[in-house]
Amino acid sequence: MAKLLHMPEVSANATHAAIQNWVKKEGETISAGDCIAEIETEKALVELAAEEDAVLGKILVQPGQEVEVGSPIGVLFAKGETNVDIDALLAKAGATQSAAPAPQPAAGDSPSNVEATPVSVPPKVEHEAKATTTGRRIFASPLARRIAMEKGIDLASLKGSGPNGRILKADVESAKPVAAQQASTAAPASSISASFDEIPHSGMRKTIAKRLAESKATVPHFYLSVECRMEKLLALRQQVNETAPKKISINDFIVKAVAVALKQLPAMNVSWTDTAMRHYHQADVCVAVSTDSGLITPVVRAADSKALSQISADVVELAGRAREGKLKPEEYQGGSFTISNLGMFGVAEFSAIINPPQAAILAVGATQQKPVVEGGELKVGSVMKCVLSADHRAVDGALAAQWLEVFKRLIENPLSMLI
């Protein structure tokens, strides 16, 4: 019996999502577990898997079109089923169809008795831009936009091969970089008009902007900083890496130290809600990763109970898939604390914005050689500066200071967190 395929809630509290790509074609047989389509969320691509054997009888939502969660996006036929009244099926579900026809599938891809028409859900155009010279709208997939930006390609110069002329990855990869177009309108003698290109915000970038603006505006941040001596940690890391099959980074030690400190001082492993304080049972540490689409924070679960080698493997694997846009929602949602490390860029010190609903984030700077005083004598030491941003609703200043003290002790005596 035919049934509607609905847009799933691919991430917590998501109200809308968009089809990035239909993996299966109309008329194609699907087995349980097969990937039917790729759905673009705010931070990653999620595969929509079939729950049972069926035939993809009808595609209702075209790639790039954003619809509400729960809206019909396709129709699944039972095997051997051909005579299906899709209008009646949609009417029963309370949905309607648009009069505007979608692009027709290739011959043999769709049962002959089914017309290809999309659901009438007003598309929220996430993937369109205005060319700086022609004023026409450009439809392109997020991946195509990203590749075009990296290669210096003007999307306005391309002809898309996707539905409704949408520019796809293959269109950009086959194109050659072109120079940015210059503004042709003469500016008044009293002013200079600079040319520019506008690149539409990705869903991920919009989410980052919204969440961080809300955090800075609504969460009462306060900041504490500490300097950690790194000689013992650097020596231990060198000793470990001489025999380890895969190298351990300084950041791996930091993740471990944060997690152990949260377990030793569990009052810091909390988050604020309007009705209660939420105390977490394990130290799930988020690690900020920079991607082409923006910042994402994959979670190292139960980092306090993991060996350094496992933490290192988790971070490498999660960061790699984050940059490919292949993280699952449960791999970047949740977490009780975040680390943002810019030390590899030579940044000595910075403060970070809290990642709601968490109560704290640690901003880690570079390890630097600087003058230190030991026993009344001036020496050269290796020092790393960290700044803790904390939510004053959930964490008091004295508690945050105690936690930083524990963290500093672990960093400066790294063997203690490995025992």
In our burial notation (b when 16+ CB lie closer than 10 A, e otherwise), range 161-200 reads: ebbeebbbbebbeebeeeeeeeeeeeeeeeeeeeeeeeeb
Decide if pLDDT at 268 tops 70: yes
Q: Which of 93, 110, 145 is the last residue of a domain?
A: 93
CATH code, domain carrying 60: 2.40.50.100
Decide if pLDDT at 66 tops 90: no
Query: Are 159 and 278 within one domain?
Result: no
Structure tokens at 108: 């043999």
Query: Are 247 and 377 within one domain?
Result: yes
Query: Are 168 and 89 within one domain?
Result: no
293 in a structural domain: yes
Decide if pLDDT at 385 tops 80: yes
| Cβ-Cβ contacts under 8 Å for 4 (sequence gap 6 or more) | 72, 74, 75, 76, 89, 90, 93, 95
pLDDT computed for residue 196 by the predictor: 87
Query: Are 132 and 83 within one domain?
Result: no
Please state which of the ranges 14-18, 183-187, 197-201, 261-265 shows the lowest mean pLDDT.
Answer: 183-187
101 in a structural domain: no
Strand stretches in 304-410, DSSP E: 337-341, 360-374, 377-391
Structure tokens at 175: 């194109």
CATH code, domain carrying 151: 4.10.320.10
Query: Are 165 and 226 within one domain?
Result: no
Decide if pLDDT at 130 tops 70: no
Is residue 201 annotated as part of the catalytic site, yes or no?
A: no
193 in a structural domain: no
- Collapsing DSSP to helix, strand or coil, 411 comes out as helix
Share above pLDDT 70 across residues of the chain, in percent, rounded to a whole number: 82
Nearest CA among 207, 228, 21, 25 for reference residue 109:
25
Alpha-carbon distances of 289 from 192, 211, 244, 253, rounded to whole Å: 39, 16, 24, 17
47 in a structural domain: yes
pLDDT computed for residue 179 by the predictor: 45
Burial of 122 per CB tally in 10 Å (0-12, 13-18, 19+)? exposed
Query: Are 141 and 30 within one domain?
Result: no
**What backbone phi and psi angles, to 5 degrees, belong to 343?**
-60, -35
405 in a structural domain: yes
> CA-CA distance, 68 to 9, in Å (whole number)?
9
Element housing 33 (H / E) = none
186 in a structural domain: no
Work out how many domains the chain is built from and give that number: 3
Q: What is the pLDDT of residues 67-76, one digit of tens each?
A: 888 889 999 9
The active-site residue, picked from 6, 201, 221, 392, is 392
Q: Determine the straight-line distance between the first and last CA of the chain, rounded to whole angstroms.
A: 60
The residue segments making up the domain with residue 357 are: 220-417
Query: Are 174 and 285 within one domain?
Result: no
Query: Are 368 and 269 within one domain?
Result: yes
Q: What is the pLDDT of residues 164-198, one digit of tens each?
A: 677 877 788 788 665 433 333 444 444 456 888 88
Confidence of residue 298 (pLDDT cuts 50, 70, 90): very high
pTM for the full model? 0.62
**Higher local confidence (pLDDT), 203 or 247:** 247
pLDDT computed for residue 327 by the predictor: 87
| Cβ-Cβ contacts under 8 Å for 174 (sequence gap 6 or more) | none
| Mean pLDDT of the residues in the chain | 82
208 in a structural domain: no
Q: Which of 153, 181, 209 is the last residue of a domain?
A: 181
> CA-CA distance, 213 to 331, in Å (whole number)?
23
Query: Are 160 and 11 within one domain?
Result: no
Query: Are 251 and 144 within one domain?
Result: no
Share above pLDDT 90 across residues of the chain, in percent, rounded to a whole number: 44
CATH code, domain carrying 259: 3.30.559.10
Confidence of residue 262 (pLDDT cuts 50, 70, 90): very high
pLDDT computed for residue 177 by the predictor: 64
Sign of CA dihedral 313, 318, 319, 325: positive
Query: Are 378 and 229 within one domain?
Result: yes
**Higher local confidence (pLDDT), 147 or 254:** 254
Query: Are 83 and 135 within one domain?
Result: no
Question: How do beta strands 54-59 and 29-30 pair?
Answer: antiparallel
Average pLDDT over residues 341-350: 95
Average pLDDT over residues 141-145: 72
206 in a structural domain: no
- Are 352 and 290 in contact, with CB atoms under 8 Å apart? no
Q: Which of 93, 118, 148 is the last residue of a domain?
A: 93
